[in-house]
Structure 1
Amino acid sequence: MKYKTEIEINKPIDRVIALFDNPDNLKKWMEGLQSFEHISGTPGEPGAKSRLKFKMGNREMEMIETVTVRNLPDEFTGTYETKGGINIVKNTFVKISDSKTKYVTEHEFQFQGLAMKIFAFLMPGLFKKQSMKYLTAFKNFAESQT
């Protein structure tokens, strides 16, 4: 399953990149994130691995992030592996004006197991809705920063 989401942020691109590129900010906008732990490689650089732990309601989820491309603002891509599959996310930032930035994400989900494949087939909108929720939360966080 592949899809794209985007949002405009009322902040200059340099400021948006600085906020996005700081892992200490993740908990400030990524709902449910309990921890972000660097595992190996140079943090934020291709090949770096980190463990992210989430709690969503009663459900706990762990994923491993592997940075594959770092060429900000043009591209920051990572793979996110969980028990149910892999999500490849390409983040792109585009300068609209001196005070406005477009944040675009392209997602490619590769599901493992029949249950996850059926769920994704029946409920594809849930994945895009969750991605938009994170984009909106990042926008709100970025715009609240001075």
Structure 2
Amino acid sequence: MKYLKYTLGVLAILVIGFLLTGLIKNELSYNCEIMVDRSLTESWAVSQDEGKMADWLDGFQKIEYVSGSPGTVGAVSDVYFTNDGQEMTIRETITEIVPNQSVSMTFTSDFMDMDYKLTMKSINGKTKISTSTTCIGNGMFSKSLLAVMGNSIKDQEETNLSNLKKTIEENSKNYSLIEN
């Protein structure tokens, strides 16, 4: 009985500590960047090509447009992913877009809300791609989980950018006739 009390006490302290972590650090922000050995125009076109998204976004399945014109400010879409066999839907809203330069979006889900900005800049014929992300959990458990697993979320963004770099550099589709 004595050990049960100690075990429950330790467990209670761990749960309280976990929840307090979400109170102390209730927002996760990070930046990532990568250089791509392709032109800005091609890099932008590949990143915006829905047909190539599964090549660089882990678990990407499809996009369903909800309202607005795709690729314009105010456009709302449901983006479907699978993660360990589970389907997940994220609502994406474009808040700002400057073709061949940047796109800002908000993503909302049951778990968290995210402000995301992808920026591209031409440097000596190559493209520097940068992202800036801020996540806020929806609820105490989500905030605490974000605080604890923040590095893995940033690691996923770095993986996505690495996959985007590969997708762009291996691209064989001609985007030269596409006007943005």
TM-score, length-scaled by structure 1? 0.94
The answer to whether structure 1 residue 109 and structure 2 residue 148 are counterparts is: no
Q: In 1, distance between residues paired with 2:140 and 2:161?
A: 29
Query: Once the two structures are superposed, what CA deviation does each residue of 1:37-60 show, in whole Å capped at 9, x if it has no partner?
Result: 111101110100111111111332
1:62 corresponds in structure 2 to: 89
Choose 20-29 or 45-54, whichever is displaced more: 20-29
AA in 2 matched with 1:36: I
Q: Higher strand proportion, which one?
A: 1
Q: In 2, distance between residues paired with 1:59 and 1:120?
A: 19
1:135 corresponds in structure 2 to: 161
Moved over 4 A (4+): none
1:96 corresponds in structure 2 to: 123
Picking from 80, 84, 87, the partner of 1:53 is 80
Q: In 1, distance between residues paired with 2:141 and 2:85?
A: 19
2:100 corresponds in structure 1 to: 73
Q: Higher helix proportion, which one?
A: 2
AA in 1 matched with 2:60: L
AA in 1 matched with 2:112: G
Same amino acid, percent of matched pairs: 26
Unaligned runs of 5+ in 1: none
AA in 1 matched with 2:127: T
Pairing 1:2-41 to 2, within 5 Å after superposition? 2-41=29-68
* Structure having the higher Rg: 2
Q: In 1, distance between residues paired with 2:156 and 2:87?
A: 16
Q: In 1, distance between residues paired with 2:104 and 2:50?
A: 15
| Other structure's SS at 1:141 match | helix
Q: How many residues align?
A: 145
Q: In 2, distance between residues paired with 1:34 and 1:109?
A: 22
